[in-house]
Amino acid sequence: MVRLCSSSDTRAALLKSFGIEFIQSPIEFDEDSIKTKDAKSFVYEVAKGKYKKALQEFDVEIPILVADTVIEANGEILRKAKNKEEAKKILEQISGSEISIITASILKKDKMEFIDISTTKYEFKEFDKEDLQKYLDSKEWEGKAGACMVEGFCKKYIKKTQGLESNAMGLPVEKIKPWLEF
């Protein structure tokens, strides 16, 4: 059993798909308070901020798990789109390019802390304009780092992958699961 301190349906689905029992207890953290432009530093600082808030709100009788994910493209951090126009701009930037999806996760269990920063790299074909518009209209991009769903819309455009798909979906469960089992 783990306490997932995230409102992400995708992270919850990942834990469920790996057979990990969890309680979902979302916490609030102001990601805009982090000012670094380095993607790995940013995602780590956000995860660390969420972790500190989780420790204030919950005891560790049930292990605590926090995570944050961003996309880096051409040295720029692509976060969650605030509206459809921003999502379109971000997705047009991703189309036909290479991106890195970076997730920082922190697990606190008993006296142990597990901290991981993982990167999954993707190379995409150009997105079909009509298909992109359908995706934008569907609003499935809402709440997704870089408006990108590698398990959904973006999947058919992947030319090359390096890394864990679970990491790109927001939680490298294959790396976390062994630490929950001992």
What is the value of pTM for the model shown? Answer: 0.90
> Which tens digits make up the pLDDT trace of 113-153?
999 999 999 999 999 999 999 999 999 999 888 898 888 99
Cα dihedral sign, 78-22-28-141: positive
Query: Which domains can be identified in the chain, with CATH numbers?
Result: 2-180 (3.90.950.10)
Burial level of 122, CB count in 10 A (0-12/13-18/19+)? buried
With contact defined as beta carbons under 8 Å apart, do 70 and 42 qualify?
yes
* Percent of the residues in the chain that have a pLDDT greater than 70, as a whole number: 99
Average pLDDT over residues 37-47: 96
Packed helices 84-94 and 129-138: angle between N→C axes, nearest 10 degrees = 140
Tell me, what's the pLDDT at 137?
A: 96
Average pLDDT over residues 51-63: 95
- Give catalytic residue positions: 68
- Residue of 180, 97, 115, 101 whose CA lies nearest to 145: 101
> Quick one: pLDDT band at residue 160, thresholds 50, 70, 90?
very high
With contact defined as beta carbons under 8 Å apart, do 77 and 71 qualify?
yes
> Quick one: pLDDT band at residue 70, thresholds 50, 70, 90?
very high
> Which tens digits make up the pLDDT trace of 71-95?
999 889 998 899 999 999 999 999 9
Tell me, what's the pLDDT at 181?
A: 83
